[in-house]
Chains A and B, each alone.
Chain A
Amino acid sequence: MFSEYTTEELQNIFMMQGFSGLSLFSVLLLMGLGLALIFGQMGVINMAHGEFMALGAYTVYFCSTLTEQYAPAFGPYYFICAIGIAFLVCALVGALVEFLMIRHLYHRPLDTLLATWGLSLIMQQTYRSLFGAREVTPTLPEWLMGSFNLKEGLDIPINGVFVLCLALLVTFVMILFMYKSKFGLRLRATVQNRKMSSAVGINTGKVDRVAFSLGCGIAGIAGAAFTTIGSTGPDSGSRYIVDAFLVVVFGGAANMLGCVASAFGIAQAQSILEFFLEGTKGKVATLLVIVVALMLRPQGLFPSKVRGH
């Protein structure tokens, strides 16, 4: 499959596809980070995670429409605020969902899967009723358009660079938060031994709620990032849900760095294979490799070394 290209062409193809893979990597990483909190740390299978991503994307779209209508002068800057708003909206909805539904199901992890799937149906239909079945795109500010021209036949789009930086920033903040803050300490303690944490005075119920809404908030940021590279429809989120779960499981559930590594591997493999194999075959090949790898090594790439429970 490589023989029909010259070496230089191959090099450019790899650079281009590799870079478009980086955009996919950013979205998968942000989705995966949220899931790593919700699924990896708390053991809740949130099938509606994709819908939270779509919620973030729709929030950005809504902000964009509002800005255009009422404050066109604010246009170049609204996107930064919209990311924050998307985070807040998703975190709030997440907290509500945790309070009404998830907190009653912590001792039945398989049932959280089914209940959140019901939730995802409802959320999808809500988007369809509110925003229509057609895909929408927010108006992006000028500075996100265009591309850097590195050399002949090689263009790097600015929005891709922006999304990548955003994803890396969020990852960095998350790692700081998990390993350097008081709350991160409480969260890790709760994950390792819930009863003991409760006994030493940690409010585990509150920890759960904050962790869940934080995970949903990060999904919201993923949605905001997603708007810069694709258009949003009611079922945009559900297209990424399996990939996101595989990122988390393949990376080793609770491990943040594993999550980064597996998101990178999955995204790059998909993006580069997509160019050489037609249609969905690239995706099928990637998924197949991951599933076989998980069957042989169920603990993932970087299993966490602490004992659970």
Chain B
Amino acid sequence: MAFFRTLFKTRGEAVSFACFALLILVILPLALPVFRLNLVGKYLSYGFVGIGLVLLWGRCGILSLGQGVFFGLGGYCMAMFLKLEASDPVTTAIQSTPGIPDFMDWNQLTALPKFWEPFHSFPFTVLAIFVVPGLVAFLIGWAMFRRRVGGVYFAIITQAIALILSLGIDGNQGYTGGRNGITDLRTLMGWDIRSEHAQQVLYFICVLLLLGSALFAKYIINTRFGRVLMAVRDQEERVRFSGYDVAMIRTFTFTVAAMLAGLGGALFVLQVGFMSPSLIGIVPSIELVIFAAVGGRLSVVGAMVGCLLVNFSKSAFSEAYPDLWLYLMGGTFIAVVMFFPDGLAGLFTKWGTIKNRAAALLARFRPASATTPNASQPAK
């Protein structure tokens, strides 16, 4: 019970979490065909990044515009494993060098590059999905937070890193698959991931991992560490003077967020079946931030809902009105930032205040000479 209280501070938090869990665990799988469910699974894999951003941006006050980097690193680790499995010597017999991925063969590579070798092993791949993004984030974070780089500068530098990685992958076609990315992924340890049944199973794996990560994030937020995080966001100097290692706290949060993003990337690859640099660069990285901002940067459930909602409306609107979509997206985003900085979740928690304000506003416009006695009553 005490543990439950740590996870959910108020009844409202528990109810909103339960509703969201019910929606993605029961209602959506029952209501949607497998094709649509697979799309939801793809959007939910962005949810991992959203959860990370709630910890990092909402709670710790660090905006990273390079979350696509970690999403991509996790995704590429998974994709490399799947690609190696898909290119065994029998299926690739027509290549001039059988047994290496097709794009390497097209780029006149005759042997598998060294850094691809370990991805033959599944346990190594699972480890790499967490360790590679985590290590990169740790190094970047440690280098920068120790020198007290934060805020705006951190955002710009992480954005530059996103650009570097996407350009770097793009430019080294023989080693990474280049602009097309790693495509044509078929099986996971002999299990066909493209079949309908597999997609359903993968959806549920994704959902369970997402809910688990959300609980983990809630746990972090509601323990004492979460309070220190908020203190770092609001009064960095005081926390430092109280004897906390601010740089280490920030680095830890950044690393956790990166590992979550890496996991999301790996699940994305399993469900969608490809990975490319177009999912890493500047624009996708900012879009990930938008999802979290629209849903609510302070709320774990809000960020996940944001990922679902923005992506749903994106696919609905951009199919019907491709020109209008960007206006709508830009406009929504400006509106959210200027008027609802806490996103949808903020609206939800402030519903009482909004209702009162709206009532007050309505009362002001009500004609003063109204005939009903109620209208003249408050004037006394």
Are B168 and A284 in contact, with the CB atoms below 8 A? yes
Are B152 and A109 in contact, with the CB atoms below 8 A? yes
B341 in contact (CB, < 8 A): yes
Are A117 and B156 in contact, with the CB atoms below 8 A? no
B144 in contact (CB, < 8 A): yes
Are A295 and B140 in contact, with the CB atoms below 8 A? yes
Are B337 and A118 in contact, with the CB atoms below 8 A? yes
B148, B152, B286: the one contacting A117 at CB < 8 Å is: B286
B161, B170, B333: the one contacting A280 at CB < 8 Å is: B170
Are B171 and A284 in contact, with the CB atoms below 8 A? yes
Q: Which residues of the other chain, A, contact B153 by a CB distance below 8 angstroms?
A: 249, 294, 298
Q: Which residues of the other chain, A, contact B163 by a CB distance below 8 angstroms?
A: 242, 287
Which residues A210-259 have CB closer than 8 A to chain B? Answer: 238, 242, 245-246, 249
Are A279 and B171 in contact, with the CB atoms below 8 A? yes
- Proximity bits, B305-349, A CB within 8 Å = 1, else 0: 000000000000000000100110111111001100100000000
Q: Which residues of the other chain, A, contact B171 by a CB distance below 8 angstroms?
A: 278-281, 284
Are A118 and B333 in contact, with the CB atoms below 8 A? yes
B366 in contact (CB, < 8 A): no
What's the nearest-Cβ distance from chain A to residue B284, in Å?
A: 13
A114, A125, A249: the one contacting B337 at CB < 8 Å is: A114
Are B326 and A121 in contact, with the CB atoms below 8 A? yes
A122 in contact (CB, < 8 A): yes
Q: Helix, strand, loop or mixed for chain A's interface?
A: helix
Nearest CB in chain B to that of A290: its residue: B160
Nearest CB in chain B to that of A296: its residue: B143
B269 in contact (CB, < 8 A): no
Are B333 and A115 in contact, with the CB atoms below 8 A? yes
Categorize the interface residue count of chain A: 35 or more
A10 in contact (CB, < 8 A): no
Known contacts A109-B151, A125-B327, A125-B330: does B338 contact A291 (CB below 8 Å)? no
In the bound assembly, the distance between CA atoms of A125 and B323 in angstroms comes to 7
Q: Which residues of the other chain, B, contact A114 by a CB distance below 8 angstroms?
A: 286, 289-290, 293, 333, 337
What's the nearest-Cβ distance from chain B to residue A128, in Å?
A: 8
Q: Helix, strand, loop or mixed for chain B's interface?
A: helix
Known contacts A122-B330, A242-B159, A281-B171: does B151 contact A288 (CB below 8 Å)? no
- Proximity bits, B88-101, A CB within 8 Å = 1, else 0: 00000000000000
Q: Which residues of the other chain, B, contact A238 by a CB distance below 8 angstroms?
A: 282
A110, A121, A245, A290: the one contacting B329 at CB < 8 Å is: A121
In the bound assembly, the distance between CA atoms of A17 and B163 in angstroms comes to 24
Looking at the complex, which of A77-85, A100-108, A196-204 is the stretch in contact with chain B?
A100-108
Chain B residues within CB distance 8 Å of chain A: 63, 65, 140, 143-144, 147-149, 151-153, 155-157, 159-161, 163-164, 167-168, 170-171, 282, 286, 289-290, 293, 323, 326-327, 329-334, 337-338, 341
The 9 closest A-B pairs by CB, nearest first: A118-B333, A121-B330, A122-B330, A125-B326, A118-B334, A280-B171, A118-B330, A295-B143, A115-B337
Q: List 29 A-B contacts (CB under 8 A).
A: A45-B155, A101-B338, A105-B337, A109-B151, A110-B151, A114-B289, A114-B290, A115-B333, A118-B329, A118-B332, A118-B333, A118-B337, A120-B330, A121-B326, A121-B329, A122-B334, A125-B323, A242-B160, A245-B159, A278-B171, A280-B167, A284-B164, A284-B167, A287-B167, A288-B164, A291-B160, A291-B161, A298-B144, A298-B148
